[in-house]
């Protein structure tokens, strides 16, 4: 059944909640992302009602990992607890610790782990490699200081959504190449792991690139702000899918959405990991839009995805 929003695609059907939000956007005559300034886009990024209500049984501590602001989410649980380092999405340009606080409380409560959310520097004020430098510095800080906030550094994982999935993949590459810290797992949610022009040949780019949610023009806007020049897009730490070597990376859960311009990137990254002998669980959600998982107030299937993510994390942490 073809969608009025994605007429090139007849392979599936939008979830009614996805159809409703796209209809609302179309009727509202909103300014597209690529026509906005970063400052204006940040003001309009996420509505509070989309995020869901934070869990009350999770304590929140504001701190710094060196110079990088972080938030530590601790469940009511026995210490020491495993630790998940989380990198939020937003195309390296948008997103705040506040906006992703509800999602982090869901992860902490349901995975029974401490979540450290990283407030990395944003482009265009801070282009590549600032975000990755902050992500890597925060991960190393967590590994060194986990005991100070009740964490167990021997049970450490990373996670991220969209651009945050890129950072989680990049940190996993760095940890492997430098030999520490040991990461037990990586959770990649609708990851943007290829910023190169070659990615535009993917079928999902063709099918969903003209949509009202995340579009090809929107991705181009993010990329222009993040990279100093297009040549940087071929660097593996910019585009982890372009890495020449996937051996020795941590086991992964790669979650994708059907109506997502980045769906093929997530699928391809999972295949590269599996081809290198890495244990990979693929989760694909029919009818859903990009990054629906972090917005359970808008998309009810997000709760199923959160359940799948937290179950995978519990399994990874329990192996130690």
Residue 310 belongs to what domain range?
A: 16-318
Q: Which of 162, 215, 233, 239 is catalytic?
A: 162
User: Is residue 5 included in any domain, yes or no?
Assistant: no
Confidence (pLDDT) at 78? 74
Burial of 267 (C-beta count, 10 Å sphere; 0-12/13-18/19+): middle
Strand partners, 116: 72, 85
User: Is residue 105 included in any domain, yes or no?
Assistant: yes
pTM: 0.97
Question: Number of folded domains in the chain?
Answer: 1
User: Is residue 217 included in any domain, yes or no?
Assistant: yes
User: Is residue 74 included in any domain, yes or no?
Assistant: yes
Q: Which of 110, 161, 194, 260 is catalytic?
A: 260
Q: What is the CATH number of the domain that holds 197?
A: 3.40.50.1820
Catalytic residue check, 162: yes
User: Is residue 147 included in any domain, yes or no?
Assistant: yes
State the Cα–Cα distance between residues 20 and 120, nearest whole angstrom.
33
State the Cα–Cα distance between residues 226 and 230, nearest whole angstrom.
10
Q: Which of 15, 185, 225, 290 is catalytic?
A: 290
State the Cα–Cα distance between residues 130 and 146, nearest whole angstrom.
23
User: Is residue 4 included in any domain, yes or no?
Assistant: no
Catalytic residue check, 98: no
| Tens digits of pLDDT across the chain (320 residues) | 568 999 999 999 999 999 999 999 999 888 888 899 999 999 989 989 999 999 999 999 999 999 999 999 999 877 899 999 999 999 999 999 999 999 999 999 999 999 999 999 999 999 999 999 999 999 999 999 999 999 999 999 999 999 999 999 999 999 999 999 999 999 999 999 999 999 999 999 999 999 899 999 999 999 999 999 999 999 999 999 999 999 999 999 999 999 999 999 999 999 999 999 999 999 999 999 999 999 999 999 999 999 999 999 999 999 64
User: Is residue 312 included in any domain, yes or no?
Assistant: yes
233 close to 197: Cβ distance less than 8 angstroms: yes
With a CB cutoff of 8 Å and minimum separation 6, the contacts of 23 are: none
User: Is residue 256 included in any domain, yes or no?
Assistant: yes
């Amino acid at each position: 059944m073809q969608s009025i929003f994605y007429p090139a695609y007849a392979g599936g059907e939008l979830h009614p909640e996805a159809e409703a939000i796209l209809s609302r956007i179309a009727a509202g005559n909103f300014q597209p992302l690529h026509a906005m300034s970063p400052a204006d886009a940040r003001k309009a990024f996420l509505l509070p009602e989309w995020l869901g209500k934070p869990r009350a049984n999770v304590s929140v501590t504001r701190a710094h990992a060196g110079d990088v602001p972080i938030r530590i989410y601790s469940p009511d649980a026995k210490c020491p607890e495993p630790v998940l380092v989380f990198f939020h999405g937003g195309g390296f340009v948008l997103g705040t610790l506040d906006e992703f606080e509800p999602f982090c409380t869901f992860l902490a409560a349901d995975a029974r782990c401490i979540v450290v959310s990283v407030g990395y520097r944003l482009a265009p004020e801070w282009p590549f490699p600032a975000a990755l430098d902050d992500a890597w510095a925060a991960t190393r800080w967590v590994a060194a200081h986990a005991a100070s906030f009740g964490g167990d550094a021997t049970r450490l994982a990373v996670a991220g959504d969209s651009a945050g999935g890129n950072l989680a993949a990049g940190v996993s590459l760095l940890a492997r190449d430098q030999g520490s810290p040991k990461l037990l797992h990586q959770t990649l949610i609708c990851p943007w792991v290829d910023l190169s022009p070659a990615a535009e040949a993917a079928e999902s780019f063709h099918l969903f690139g003209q949509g009202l949610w995340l579009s090809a023009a929107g991705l181009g806007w993010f990329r222009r702000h993040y990279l100093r020049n297009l040549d940087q897009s071929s660097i593996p730490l910019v585009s982890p899918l372009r890495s020449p070597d996937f051996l020795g990376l941590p086991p992964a859960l790669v979650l994708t959405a059907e109506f997502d311009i980045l769906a093929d990137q997530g699928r391809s990254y999972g295949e590269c990991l599996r081809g290198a002998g890495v244990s990979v669980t693929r989760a694909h959600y029919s009818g859903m839009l990009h990054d629906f998982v972090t917005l359970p107030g808008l998309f009810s299937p997000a709760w199923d995805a959160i359940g799948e993510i937290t179950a995978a994390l519990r399994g990874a942490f329990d192996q130690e």
